[in-house]
Amino acid sequence: MPATTVHRVYNFSAGPAVMPLPVLEEIQRDLVALPGVGMSILEISHRSKTFESILAQAEADVRTLAAIPSNYRVLFLQGGASLQFSMVPMNLLGAGQTADYIDTGSWANKAISEAKKVGRVNIAATTKADHYARIPNQSELTLTEGAAFVHITSNNTIEGTQYQGLPEVGADSGDVPLVSDSSSDMFSRPIDVARHGLIYAGAQKNMGPAGLTLVIIGDDLVRRAAEKQSTLPTMLSYAVHAENTSLYNTPPAFAVYALGLVMKWLLAQGGLGAIRSINERKAAKLYAEIDRTGFYRGTAQSDSRSLMNVTFRLATDEIEALFVKESTAAGFDGLKGHRAVGGMRASIYNAFPEAGVDALVSFMRNFEQRRG
């Protein structure tokens, strides 16, 4: 059965999220037996030559895509971005040191809670008073001299805000490393890896299926982690995973394989510069419709709007419920906003087709005509 005959809805889910159709088709085609191997990716040993080369190729493609300098390691871990909330301070926050966290929303808050269990935390800025509708300016940051690191959330999946540029944290002088939770915008645009000490992201938003967390970490921070290695659970040490090239224990082989296919797809799109242009075009269409009359109201300040998660509201809870009901019936899935903030959220990650954005814009216009 050719996969193209299968009916697919427009999936606006925030994560796990839409994957590129050619990737799903390749997985389907090769699931029973990888070409030339005669076994499924679900069946092969993680110590086999086949899997070693799948892992190595996925890493090579990640490196090419993000132009990762040679003094950074790429790790394939488990436990989601949520485990990184703990691993980052456990590995990088020394006794007597302070870690700076910039509070831009729900996920940043979870990262802060976990860090506080490990050591001293300074909230370098928060936009809570503005309902997290914006990213703080550089001038609002109260950074700690000699902080262990500064933690940001590059894209706030729930609130629909995104850093438009990286904050200055002294990383250029090599002092204070920038740590970024990039779970919901990883590989949606070019990344200046050298300005970071560590970048982490759960795969299930923009890179593949759930069960895999990508970590890009500088060698200097691997060395810092090595100093704490003897005091940490083995599985929670960056030094252990770097030393064992992500093969200390059984990695999530299927997710690594699928992420590798998504990386190949991204390279075929023209890389991160090309995908950024597409993402900008898709998001601009939706924001233009949101701003057109005032019937819809964008929740993020316009200078902080996310290209990945477009959040908006309608006048009342009743009309929002109607919008969800009618959009679902029309074949749009996942437009209901996160339960913590309400409203609508259209997650339009890399793999979300532009035709789906066009269809949503038409639906929104039609809905306004009927209900406005």
Ligand X SMILES: *Cc1c(COP(=O)(O)O)cnc(C)c1O
Residue with smaller CB distance to ligand X, 91 or 289: 91
Determine whether 205 is an active site residue.
yes
Task: Give residue 367's Cα distance to chain centre.
Answer: 31
Structure tokens at 334: 């996942």
| Distance in angstroms (rounded) separating the CA atoms of residues 101 and 121 | 7
Nearest approach, Cβ of residue 122 and ligand X (Å): 20
Residue 230: how many CB atoms within 10 A of its CB? 9
Closest CA to 310 of 209, 184, 138: 184
Position of minimal CB gap to ligand X: 80
Nearest approach, Cβ of residue 313 and ligand X (Å): 20
Nearest approach, Cβ of residue 299 and ligand X (Å): 16
Binding site for ligand X (CB under 6 A): 15, 80-82, 107, 153, 157, 181, 183-184, 202, 205
Exposure string for 320-336, b = 16+ CB within 10 A, e = fewer: beebbeebeeeebebbb
Determine whether 228 is an active site residue.
no
Residue with smaller CB distance to ligand X, 98 or 161: 161
Nearest approach, Cβ of residue 202 and ligand X (Å): 3
Residue with smaller CB distance to ligand X, 13 or 57: 13
| Distance in angstroms (rounded) separating the CA atoms of residues 225 and 221 | 6
Angle at which helices 253-269 and 271-291 cross, to 10°: 80
Q: Rounded to 10 degrees, what is the CA torsion of 234, 118, 131, 310?
A: -10
Catalytic position from the list 61, 100, 103, 107: 107
Nearest approach, Cβ of residue 271 and ligand X (Å): 23
Residue with smaller CB distance to ligand X, 107 or 296: 107
Determine whether 285 is an active site residue.
no
Catalytic position from the list 205, 228, 282, 336: 205
Catalytic position from the list 61, 181, 185, 228: 181
Residue with smaller CB distance to ligand X, 11 or 153: 153
In one-letter notation, the amino acid at residue 368 is E
Q: Catalytic site residues?
A: 107, 181, 205
